[in-house]
A and B are shown apart, each in its own frame.
Chain A
Amino acid sequence: TDPCYDEAGAPQRCIPEFVNAALGREVQASSTDPRQTHPAAFLTDASAAADRTCWRSETLTRTPLNVTLTLPLGKAFELVYVSLHFCSARPDSAAVFKSQDHGRSWSPLRFFSSQCSRVYGRPSRAVGQAPAQASLGSIVPRGPEALCSEPPPRTGPLLAFSMQDGLPPGQDLDSSPVLQDWVTATDIRVVLTRPVGPRATEGGVVAPYVYSVGELQVGGRCKCNGHASRCVADTQGRLVCDCRHGTEGPDCERCKPFYCDRPWQRATAHEAHACLACSCNGHARRCRFNMELYRLSGRRSGGVCLNCRHNTAGRHCHYCREGFYRDQTRVLSHRRACKACDCHPVGAAGKTCNQTTGQCPCKDGVTGLTCNRCAPGFQQSRSPVAPCVKIP
């Protein structure tokens, strides 16, 4: 069974399973212990607490004591949490950033510091504490902001945060494009900035210090906008959604070329918003979306078929083009549903017949569907201009 369709075959929202998006992915560390016995690969190997493998930075002796860990997720994910399990003492200050464009630009997700204002220029706020104007109106229009708080004292070697931290309760991802944007990331970057304790001397030489992390976890779901239940590797080995509902793209973020009868939309719990195929009666392979027609139809159908074949024409290739007429013995989708008019070269006054009945326009005294006979009371003349004349 396909989770993207119900038992009756109707589309329904489907989402990939919750995973640790960091698992097995390669982390780029700006500093790694040169002995190679504590590589960055140990950050994402899901080693258990009992035999935890740890990445270690070089031994740092001068400020600034910044070390950066960059984790490409391979594609967009919708994040739920980020966590770092330290093998060394947890640093006093750390910042977590996200990228939504595969590392070209970065924006902050969260800061941890005992001195938020001095280190990051941000007010310190305990998790769960509401922002100054905690309301939908104040937060949602410009999007959630990265919080800065002291590392929680009781979490031991763990530094973790939820993407929901600091947001007003009752926020619904389905109905909030701002929240959808907030939780979306293609890459995560952690900047460890300030060791804990007396080593945190400002300027010049400091006591040797090593950052060491056993596990970097990024909990979330592969982002498919409700149109795929799993992500798979494509032919080039890139992670992409296994799109359903007539969608395509790495995140199922657009309709497939022929599925443009209505605009693309993200699926919600109540409505799958599947992309619909254009209705072209089997006579066109391409169509385009027309917003004006969509509005006029009561937001039901806006697809316009392109390049109708088999001598058909119209928005849905639903009638016959000029010079052809509908053969009522065949269904509209038949490739020979439209027959050539075949108007008689002498008896007909033109080459174009009625597109529905096939009746050619006949000269005076001529009859028949193709105007190939003289009407009763008329007989054939020798003149091609007036082929039938009244019988005297």
Chain B
Amino acid sequence: DVMPTLDMALFDWTDYEDLKPDM
């Protein structure tokens, strides 16, 4: 089975603002 690609919208960046890539 081909897994779906990671959905960037699902990530919670609250505690990781400094890691957040440009999207």
Contact = CB atoms under 8 A, between A and B. Distances in A.
A372 B8 contact: no
Interface in B1-23: 1-8, 10-13, 16, 19-21
A249 interface: no
A385 interface: yes
Given A347-B6, A373-B5, A382 B12 contact: yes
B1 A376 contact: yes
A372 B11 contact: no
B6 A380 contact: yes
A382 B7 CA distance: 10
A382 B2 CA distance: 20
A383 B12 CA distance: 6
Question: Majority SS of interface residues in chain A?
Answer: loop
Contacts of B13: 384
A346 B3 contact: no
Contact of A373 (B6, B8, B12, B16): B6
Nearest to B12: A382
B2 to A, nearest CB: 8
Contact of B3 (A344, A376, A382, A383): A376
B6 A367 contact: no
B3 to A, nearest CB: 4
B11 to A, nearest CB: 5
Nearest to A371: B6
B5 A372 contact: yes
B3 A387 contact: no
B16 A380 contact: no
Interface of B: 1-8, 10-13, 16, 19-21
Interface of A: 344-347, 366-368, 372-376, 380, 382-385, 387-388
12 contacts: A346-B11, A367-B3, A373-B2, A380-B6, A382-B12, A383-B11, A384-B11, A384-B13, A384-B16, A385-B16, A387-B11, A388-B6
7 interchain residue pairs of minimum CB distance? A345-B21, A373-B3, A382-B12, A384-B11, A372-B5, A374-B3, A384-B16
